[in-house]
Every structure is written in C-alpha cells, then in structure tokens.
Chains A and B, each alone.
Chain A
Amino acid sequence: MIRFDGVTFTYDGAAAPTLDRIDVHVGEGELCVVVGPTGSGKTTLLRAVNGLVPHFTGGRLSGEVLVDGRSTREFAPRELADVVGMVGQNPAASFVTDTVEDELAYTMENLGLAPDVMRRRVEDALDLLGLHDLRDRPLATLSGGQQQRVAIGAVLTASPRVLVLDEPTSALDPAAAEEVLASLTRLVHDLGLTVLLAEHRLERVLPFADSVVLVPGGGSPLVVGGAAEVMTQSPVAPPLVDLGRLVGWSPLPLSVRDARRRAGPLRVNLRGSTPPAAPPADPTAPVAARLRRVTVAYDGVPALDAVDFEVRTGEVVAVMGRNGSGKSTLLGQLAGVRPPTSGSVDVGGADPARLAPRALVARVGLVPQDAGILLYGESVAAECLAADRDTGLASGTTHAVLERVLPGLAPDRHPRDLSEGQRLALALSVVLAPAPPLLLLDEPTRGLDYPGKARLVLLLAELAAAGHAVVMATHDVELVAQVATRAVVLAEGEVVADGPARDVVCHSPVFAPQVAKVLAPEPWLTVDEVRGALEVEAVRG
C-alpha cells in the first residue's frame, strides 16, 4: 500500500540527507509503528507519504514514494487527500473549521462529495470514534483526547486507504491514549485501513503493532520487520521489552498479557527479595513550598479546589491525573503565575505571585510544557549568556550547568533547530542556573525518547540528592516509577491520593507501570529494580 523505493531526502541547506536510500513497504491493512530516537527523521518519513515532503517543505527528494499506486512525484498533497489521511503532532493546530461536525465534513467538501454521502459518513465517523455527544461542540472547548479523535475522524471521513499519525498519544493521559488507540485498532480490524504511526511512548502502541520500522538516525540503515524481531535490536524500547531482554524471553513480549503469562517463574524467583525501599521521606527536612487551602477558579469554575500541598527538600513529587485535572494550575501556583482565588501560597517564606521576576527565579524554576517558549536567543551560547545576565550570575554559569545536563551541545546552534530533548535540556539549564531550591517540571518527557528520559531521570535524582525539591506534572507512569519519591493524584481540582510513589502507582490500574502490571502483586516498578534483585539472587545462589 505504501512503498518507498530508494528514497533519499535532503532539506534545503542541510549537509547530510535526513532520509538516505530508504526502502520500506507497508502492506494493506497493516498497523506499522515508526520508532527511533528524537531527530532521526521519523516525522520526515511520515510526511513523505502524502507528499508534504517535499511539496510543502522544500528540499530535494530522489527515488519514489508510491501510495496506492500513486506517486508523490506526480500528485500534490491535496490530490492525495482521498488516499492518505494525515494527522499531525498537534491536532488543535490543524483544525480549519470551528465545530466538530463541520470539521469532520471539511475534507469531503474539498473532494466534492455529494451531500447525502457526506451526511452518512459523518454519522459513521461520529459512531466509530465515539464522538456523537460532541457533534455540535466548538472545537476550542474539547479536551486533548477528544481533539485527537476529532482530528482522526476528520481525515477518516474522506475514506482514505492509508492513515498516517505523528505521535497520536504523546500529549494524552493514559486513559485518553487507550481510547485513541482502541479507535485505531478498530479501524485497522474493521475497515482494513493501513496505519503508519510514529510514537515515543512505545509501551502504549507496541501491543497493537503488526510491523515496526526502526529509524536509528545518524545515517544507519533502516530496520523493517515484525515488531518482536525489530525490538531485539532497537536502541529505544519500552520497559516490557527491556524486561524481556533481561530475563531472556524469546520472542520478546509486546503486551502486558504476553509477558504476564510467561512471568510465573520470574515472580517465584523474585519472591525472596523485596524491592529496594525508597528512603522514607525525611520529616525533618525543611519545607520548600506549601499550599494552604488554595482554590483557583477560572470564570467561577474551580481548577483547584481547597488544595493543601507541601513539598520538602530532597523530594521528587509526581503530580498525576487526567488532562484538565488541575496539574498545570498547581505548578502555576507554586511558580506564582497568578495569585490564587483564595488560600495562601508560600515558597521559601514568600508569596511567589508577588515577587519581582528576578527574585522569583532565585526561589523557583518552572519548565513549562512547551519548553521552547523559554528560549528566544539566537544560539545556544547567546541563550546561556542571556540567562547569566538576566539573573545576575557570573558569565558562564549557565553553560557549565548545560555541560552537566547535556554535554557537547554545539554552542552555535539555534534553539529552534534543536531536537525536543536538546531543547528541554537547554531550558532546564537556563532554569537551573540560579539554583532555585524548588524546581517545577510540566510534562518533561513529552517528545523525549528513552535515552533522553534516562538522562532526565539521573539528573532529577542528582538534584534531589543535592537538596532541591522537585515537583513534576506528568502522564508518564514510567517516569514516575523511575524517579518519584512521592505521588499525588489530582481529580477535578482535588487531591485524591497522596503517598509514596510505589504505593500510589501500584494500586491504580491506570497509573501502574508495565513492570508493576507484569509482576503484580509484587510491588516492583522498574526493570532496574528487577535487575538488581536478580543479580543479588545470582550471587546468593
């Protein structure tokens, strides 16, 4: 259905080709996952399918991309709209109309379909994606998961043969992600659609994949094949695959169910040992920040409802909950983004909303969801110098921090050309330079690959040990499993759970990480814990 024949693509002005002599073939009705580190060319590969690369982006493409027998050489993206449905990384940015129903019909209107056909297909799409309650809603009022489903529906109504999705679940909470993936599998199974998708959160999509295209980046050749077989050599792998590699399962398990059925002996093996208990929270450690009965309301609707919260130095607190449950608002309160509607905020003895910018950054650093918004220098070096100047630090402080966070980042690169992980590292360094005792992170792993995530985990653990207090809002249960000492779950602006991370995530079916699901009821969270325990066992045995 999709065929890349010897495709080489180079962006204008780029020294090396992004895609180098690629041959890929995705058969009809396949769900194919594109995996690879950030910046390896996954998005370029996806956009080449409907000709946005190179028709829209410019650059030079040689070789041939064929979709359903049509070559992107002869057909512009708009002429492939009836064959390829393309859903981008940020669905909200792709909406053309203003209500759900109109958005679903937009592509069909462009294709000139008869009104009765359009009507029928819109109803089908509403049912297929579970959107019928939302049909008249303005798009701006939808949640992230709903927007993602509308974006899928909007390309689906044109009844394409191929669906291409770029990171469809990265911005979603675990439940919403499952909902979107369930819709996708339904399309593959019931309609025989060919789906090509790129995703960093492999633990979410691998169970559904028929085949995997590994884009290793750095000029290495592509690896194409069955999911389990490609995963044996992939540099990026979900915890389940890591566990499988550790224990030596073959073929590798791709779903929790697979792994669980094989994990019996492992569970017996581990029965003798207990997971390394996290150091109990030091009740004498000074409190870094405290919220007292804080309520924040937008237009009279509370986003936070009389929340009590405190964080001590040396803690890494994960704030979890659905999209829209008040996580970002909580962080915003700690950073003094806006004064609370009622209640009091205390960060190191002051109300952050009243602090002048320079005094604020010395007490609390916030890396927002879109870390790039903090950066506006012309180059990495300029950004570092500006940060030193802004906060009155000795010249070179920020760059020294950056060298620790991510060594070897070329100082002359423009922040916009950096990969997601590099941008996060730079923003983090800028925020960390004045050494704020309280560090806040909003969705730090969005768009981050596994190596990037591993570096972040090490860094956060180091910071906590050095006496920083860290609060992060995240959907990423694997990150929580690896680094958080405490977890707080928010729902509808209220705290519904607060306790040691292990207890909170292990007891929740939604927030449990893969390893915990496989080894339940034993409370193991990460592959590293299991590895450590097995090594001890081996020595003992």
Chain B
Amino acid sequence: MSPVARTTAGRRGLHPGAWWLWAACMAAAASRTTNPILLLLIGAVAVYVVAARRTAAPWSRSLVLFLRLGLFVIVLRVVLVMVFGNRVGGHVLFTLPQVPLPAWAAGVSIGGPVTAEAVIGAAVEGLRLAVVLVCFGAANSLASPYRLLRCLPAVLYEAGVAITVSLAFAPELVMAVGDVREARRLRGRPTRGLSGLRGTAVPVLERALDRSLQLAASMDARGYGRRVAVGRGIRRWAGATTAGGILLLLAGIYGVLAAGSLPWGGIPFVAVGAVLLGAGLATSGRRTNRTRYRADVWRTPEWLVTASGGVALATMVIAGILGVPGLEFSAYPLAAPTLPLLATVGVLVGLVPAWVAPVERTSRRVPAPAAAAADPSTARPDVGTDAGPDTVATALVSARIEGTVP
C-alpha cells in the first residue's frame, strides 16, 4: 500500500460495496421474519444510519423516495386483500358489496366481508416488502451509484455506465416535465387533464432524447468503448464460463432463499458459480484496458460495517433454525407480537455503521471565509459568490447534518 493511498483513504467515504453488503444483509434479515416490531426496528435502523452518514450529494435524497414507495406497497397490499382476499372468517370490520362471479371462477371473490385478520395480515406482509425496499433505499442514499459501478469488473463497466446514465435520467425527466408544463402555461395552454398530459409527454421525451444524444457524443469523444484486440478462443472461453457461472449462482441463490430445495442449502452452487463467473469476467476484462482512478479501498471500517449487517442476518437465521418463538407473526388467530431477544439484539448491531463509517468529505464543503482569505489561491472571486441557490442549500443541509447550524 503506497503512503499516498493510506493517508487519503477514508476521505472518500466508505467503500460503496460495504454499504451495499450491509444493506443487503439487513434486507435479507427483514425477509426472514414477519414480526412487525422486528420489521419496524430494521427499518428504523436503516433510516437512522442514513441520517447519520449521508452526504450532501443529490443521490442521498433518494431514501425519501423509497419510503414513499414502501408506504404505497403497504396500502396497495391492504386494498388488494380487501377487494380480492380470501374470506377465511374472523372479526368482520365491514362488508364490501360483492360481485357475483361465474362458477368457473370459484376460489376468486370480489368484495364481501373484510376481516381485521385479513387487513392486519396484509399490512404486515406489505411492511416486510416495504422494509426490504427501505434497506435498498438506504444503500442508494449512502453510496453513489456511480462509485459502486467503479468497483465492477472492467468488462461489466460499460454496460453498467449505460445503466447508471439511464438511472440518472429519472430526476432530469422530472425537471423536464416541470419546464414543459411551465412553457405550456406561458403559451396559454391547459397544463392539467388529458390534453395537458399528451402535450407534455412528447416535448419531454424529445428533450430526453436530445440530451442522451449529447451525452453519447461526449462519451464517444472521451474514449468510451476503446477496445484491445484478443483472440477468438479467449472470447469463447470467457463467454462460456460467464454464462455457466451466472446459471449456477442463480440456482444457488434460489436454494439459499427457499430453504430445503437444494442439498447443503445451495451453498456449493453459489461457491462454484461465483468462481466460474469471476474467471469469465476476468478473461473478458482483457479486451478493455480501462484503469481505475483512486480505486476504493477495503479496510477496517468496511469490515466492521459488513460484519454488523452479517450479525443482524446471522442472528435472524440462527433464531429461525432454533425455532425461537416470535419470529413469525400470526394473524389467524390474531395475537400481539412478542420481541425475541436474540433477533432484536442482532438487528440493533446493524446500527454500528452510524458510528464506524467515515464521513465523506462532500458533506463538509465550502471553505470557511477565514480559510479562504488566508490562502490567496482560494480567494478567487467565484468561491462562495457564484454559488447558486442550490449550492447554498446543499451547504446549509450539510451544515445542519454536522450540527453547525442550530
């Protein structure tokens, strides 16, 4: 390890892979329980870690989006159960008008009595999915999608760039919609209703297309997609190992998630698949000679963050194997959830990143006026003065996060 890398590591924040592993473990833990208290606890842990360690970057606001999506999932699930749910019996809350269905549709019902059990059961099921979503939202807010991409093997990088670029597109589309609606108003046209929608969609897509053409030209001009010639045999070998690896890996993951469907819980499949995939990717990587600028490093904080997620998942799995009561929530008959001690402690260990993860420097921006004045090279006219409303807002947000603004 060179001294340069050692002194500057951590400055760029935690390895994005560590954040994603931690989040994946938390999400997997959530998928292993239906206890609403445990689920809410996992969600709270994820939100707290984001609040403690997020940066001022635009992507760090994505958690709110995922929280809303989670809420939507719960509501949707409850509504669906109310309308189409099984009529098993229980405490009837109210009765919806029933739609008579032909005989061949037996087993499906529309409307009818809605029971408390059905509604609560559906809400808890929805909550589980929502918490999984929030965990991924947390990873999204904590690690720049682009930096995660930089950790991909060289061969996947180019496909990955295409994906991130298209993801980055969504917020811009939202902005374009705003612009176009404003323009329609200035032309004296309706901005609402069906005709408003149609009149907005075409110009928005046109602008989106324009922008992607500009970006594509820029990427081409900046050397994206330069290739090195390699032999045909190597290319075939790489293709075969990659495809085989992915298949084995998928089978293995299925085995891990659906306990008992594969021998040894599918672990050997995962291992062999991963090795094959790695070999395949490394071979195809020879076709590109990309290098990485300041590759992210993996050291103690990364290990701690990953381990904390691992502990949360492991306690949940162990509790499941031991048959600890309280992991499963029962809606029939309806019973108040209890709190299994082992799993609770495990989930709380997931809070560790809120303290051990280094704070990224983007959240400590804008040199203090005194520092800028002291260093003549930084006392440029533009610093601070040509910051638009956005930059000032970011500065304030980050200052608030660090507690410098009451």
Q: Are B203 and A106 in contact (CB under 8 A)?
A: no
In whole Å, how far is A362's beta carbon from the nearest beta carbon of chain B? Answer: 8
Q: Are A96 and B165 in contact (CB under 8 A)?
A: yes
Q: Are A77 and B186 in contact (CB under 8 A)?
A: no
Would you call A98 an interface residue if the criterion is a C-beta within 8 Å of the partner chain's C-beta atoms?
yes
In whole Å, how far is A173's beta carbon from the nearest beta carbon of chain B? Answer: 8
In the bound assembly, the distance between CA atoms of A81 and B217 in angstroms comes to 12
Q: Count how many chain A residues have C-beta atoms less than 8 Å from C-beta atoms of the other chain.
A: 88
In the bound assembly, the distance between CA atoms of A56 and B390 in angstroms comes to 34
Q: Are A112 and B382 in contact (CB under 8 A)?
A: no
In the bound assembly, the distance between CA atoms of A425 and B257 in angstroms comes to 63
Would you call B344 an interface residue if the criterion is a C-beta within 8 Å of the partner chain's C-beta atoms?
no
**Contact pick for A431, options B185, B186, B372, B378, CB 8 Å:** B186
In whole Å, how far is B299's beta carbon from the nearest beta carbon of chain A? Answer: 17
**Contact pick for B226, options A95, A110, A179, A300, CB 8 Å:** A110
| CB neighbors of A among B373-399 (8 A) | 377-378, 380-383, 385-394, 396-397
Query: 1/0 per residue B349-377: CB within 8 Å of A?
Result: 00000000000111001010000100001
Q: A102-B146, A109-B291, A143-B391 are in contact. Are A78 and B58 (CB under 8 A)?
A: no
Would you call B191 an interface residue if the criterion is a C-beta within 8 Å of the partner chain's C-beta atoms?
yes
In the bound assembly, the distance between CA atoms of A110 and B305 in angstroms comes to 31
Query: 1/0 per residue B317-356: CB within 8 Å of A?
Result: 0000000000000000000000000000000000000000
Interface 9-residue window, one of A86-94, A230-238, A511-519: A86-94
Q: Are A108 and B293 in contact (CB under 8 A)?
A: yes
Would you call B182 an interface residue if the criterion is a C-beta within 8 Å of the partner chain's C-beta atoms?
yes
Cβ–Cβ < 8 Å partners of A335 in chain B? 186
In whole Å, how far is B162's beta carbon from the nearest beta carbon of chain A? Answer: 11
Interface 9-residue window, one of A366-374, A443-451, A466-474, A528-536: A366-374
In the bound assembly, the distance between CA atoms of A454 and B365 in angstroms comes to 44
Nearest neighbor of B211 in chain A, beta-carbon distance: A93
**Contact pick for B219, options A47, A96, A155, CB 8 Å:** A96
In the bound assembly, the distance between CA atoms of A154 and B144 in angstroms comes to 20
Would you call A409 an interface residue if the criterion is a C-beta within 8 Å of the partner chain's C-beta atoms?
no
Q: A84-B221, A136-B365, A361-B188 are in contact. Are A146 and B382 (CB under 8 A)?
A: yes
Q: Are B361 and A324 in contact (CB under 8 A)?
A: no
Cβ–Cβ < 8 Å partners of B365 in chain A? 136-137
Cβ–Cβ < 8 Å partners of B58 in chain A? 98, 138, 140-141
Would you call A244 an interface residue if the criterion is a C-beta within 8 Å of the partner chain's C-beta atoms?
no
Q: Are A114 and B386 in contact (CB under 8 A)?
A: no
In the bound assembly, the distance between CA atoms of A115 and B150 in angstroms comes to 14
Query: 1/0 per residue B177-216: CB within 8 Å of A?
Result: 0011011111111110000000100110011000100111
Q: Are B224 and A324 in contact (CB under 8 A)?
A: no
Binding site for A on B (CB under 8 A): 2, 4, 56-59, 144, 146-147, 150, 161, 165, 168, 179-180, 182-191, 199, 202-203, 206-207, 211, 214-226, 288-295, 360-362, 365, 367, 372, 377-378, 380-383, 385-394, 396-397
| For the complex of A and B, 5 pairs with smallest distance between CB atoms | A324-B388, A81-B223, A94-B218, A105-B293, A110-B223
Q: A98-B59, A111-B223, A374-B183 are in contact. List 4 more A-B contacts (CB 8 A).
A: A96-B222, A138-B394, A175-B381, A430-B187
Q: List 16 A-B contacts (CB under 8 A).
A: A55-B220, A78-B224, A79-B226, A81-B221, A119-B293, A138-B56, A140-B390, A141-B56, A146-B386, A179-B381, A301-B389, A337-B182, A357-B185, A357-B191, A373-B180, A431-B186
